[in-house]
Amino acid sequence: MIILKNYPLKKHNTFGIDCNAENLVRIRSETDLKEAIKLPYPPVYVLGGGSNILLTGDLSGLVLKNEIKGIKVIEEDHQEVIIQAGGGENWHQLVCWSIKRNYGGIENLSLIPGTVGAAPIQNIGAYGVELREVFEKLEAINLRTGKKKIFYSTDCAFAYRDSIFKNTLKNEYCITQVCIRLTKTNHRLITGYGAIREVLQEKHIKDPTIQDISDAVISIRSGKLPNPEELGNSGSFFKNPEIDNEQFEQLQKKFPQIVHYELPNNKVKIPAGWLIEQCGWKGKRIGNTGAHASQALVLVNYGGASGKEVKKLADQIRSSVLNKFGIELSCEVNII
């Protein structure tokens, strides 16, 4: 096993933050993982695609770079298929692999950056679909004991951009395999969220396939979100807050044009991007960082920004939204 000392992480986090890992080991199998956690370098960090983290400094101890690959069908019938993918697989490549075989259910999650292993941690979601809707189970290794555990959906405590792995079990497991259940026929097409329907209409597509929906999502995301290879970012930095009806009614009196989406259980979702934009942050630059000109929800590194600079900007944005609207934004990005 090769231990890489003072390993640069700039190319391994989509914010492009320039910092180092004191010790890094590439994990390509469960055997690698079980050997690595025996090394005398605590604490342990698991790094996937680096697309949902903000590094505020060098990482001491041991960093495990999850590179466990492999995609295969483990069960199927005439209507459904269960796919198993390694935690180090690229998520979008898994989506493409599935669509190529006409397996439906994750086409709306196209072009989401990151790895398969990180997807359940975040309960990734976009355009009306969340991972938990197709999730079957996952395999994970306890980073203290080396024991394998299988987590089913009810074990994961999935919520909006959340799971047990971001809370109770944070930093306790490395996800090695993820299984999802997809459709082979009678795909459930979700076209009413966001601009998907508009894109399909522009292309004169009346009876869309899962490939058509994927193409539409890719087009929308590419036009709205900056490419991390060109401008450092981690996509949406904050979660869209959910408030109760009573609080919303009071806000609507003060801000009649407030953008909102009604939810079950007397809740209302307010787009965080709208709140941030109303506070004057959209396109605003402070030093080497700022809120993107096309999507205020995306914080960016214009080059040379430190993680602490980005965090300071995020704190200022949260404070201004709280002061103006009485809503406290929660970070979607994991700050380390």
The catalytic position among 110, 214, 234, 236 is 236
Which two structure tokens, joined as six digits, stand for 114? 């990151």
- Whether the Cβ atoms of residue 138 and residue 177 lie closer than 8 Å to each other: yes
Using only C-alpha atoms, the chain has a radius of gyration, in whole angstroms, of: 20
In this predicted structure, the answer to whether residue 110 has a pLDDT above a threshold of 80 is yes
Instruction: Say how many C-beta atoms besides its own lie within 10 A of residue 3's C-beta.
Output: 14
**Tell me, what's the pLDDT at 91?**
97
List beta partners, residue 334.
53
For residues 48 and 224, which has the higher predicted lDDT (pLDDT)? 48
Instruction: Say how many C-beta atoms besides its own lie within 10 A of residue 330's C-beta.
Output: 14
Nearest to 240 by CA among 317, 330, 134, 115: 330
User: How much is the average pLDDT of 109-124?
Assistant: 95
Nearest to 310 by CA among 50, 34, 53: 53
- Whether the Cβ atoms of residue 18 and residue 58 lie closer than 8 Å to each other: no
The catalytic position among 161, 163, 214, 221 is 161
Q: What's the sign of the alpha-carbon dihedral 51, 238, 161, 218?
A: negative
**Tell me, what's the pLDDT at 57?**
94
In this predicted structure, the answer to whether residue 193 has a pLDDT above a threshold of 80 is no
In this predicted structure, the answer to whether residue 10 has a pLDDT above a threshold of 80 is yes
> Quick one: pLDDT band at residue 47, thresholds 50, 70, 90?
very high
Our answer to whether residue 236 is catalytic in this structure is yes
Report the distance separating Cα 110 and Cα 91, nearest Å: 8
- pLDDT per residue as tens digits for the range 234-246: 989 999 999 999 9
**Tell me, what's the pLDDT at 225?**
83
Which two structure tokens, joined as six digits, stand for 263? 């939810």
- pLDDT per residue as tens digits for the range 151-181: 999 999 999 889 999 999 999 999 999 999 9
**Tell me, what's the pLDDT at 261?**
87
Secondary structure class of 286 (helix, strand, coil): strand
Indicate the pairing of strand 125-126 with strand 129-130.
Answer: antiparallel
Instruction: Say how many C-beta atoms besides its own lie within 10 A of residue 12's C-beta.
Output: 19
Our answer to whether residue 214 is catalytic in this structure is no
**CATH number given to 4-66:** 3.30.43.10
| pTM for this entry | 0.89
**Tell me, what's the pLDDT at 147?**
95
Alpha-helical regions (H) of 107-232: 118-122, 153-156, 196-202, 210-224
**Tell me, what's the pLDDT at 223?**
82
CATH class of 71-183: alpha beta
Where b means 16+ CB within 10 Å and e means fewer, 270-308 reads bbbbbbbbbbebbebeeebbbbbeebbbbbbbeeebbbe
CB-based contacts of 213, cutoff 8 Å, min separation 6: 107, 108, 189, 190, 191, 196, 200
In this predicted structure, the answer to whether residue 249 has a pLDDT above a threshold of 90 is yes
Which two structure tokens, joined as six digits, stand for 323? 């002061």
How many Cα atoms within 13 Å fall on the side-chain side of residue 249?
A: 4
Q: What's the sign of the alpha-carbon dihedral 87, 93, 95, 97?
A: negative
Report the distance separating Cα 81 and Cα 183, nearest Å: 6
For the chain, what are the domain ranges?
4-66, 71-183, 232-335
CA distances, 151 to each of 83, 136, 141, 290 (Å):
16, 9, 11, 38
Q: In angstroms, how far apart are the furthest CA atoms of the chain? A: 62
Our answer to whether residue 110 is catalytic in this structure is no
The catalytic position among 107, 130, 133, 332 is 332
**CATH number given to 232-335:** 3.90.78.10
**Tell me, what's the pLDDT at 195?**
87
CB-based contacts of 127, cutoff 8 Å, min separation 6: 108, 109, 190, 193, 194, 196, 217, 220
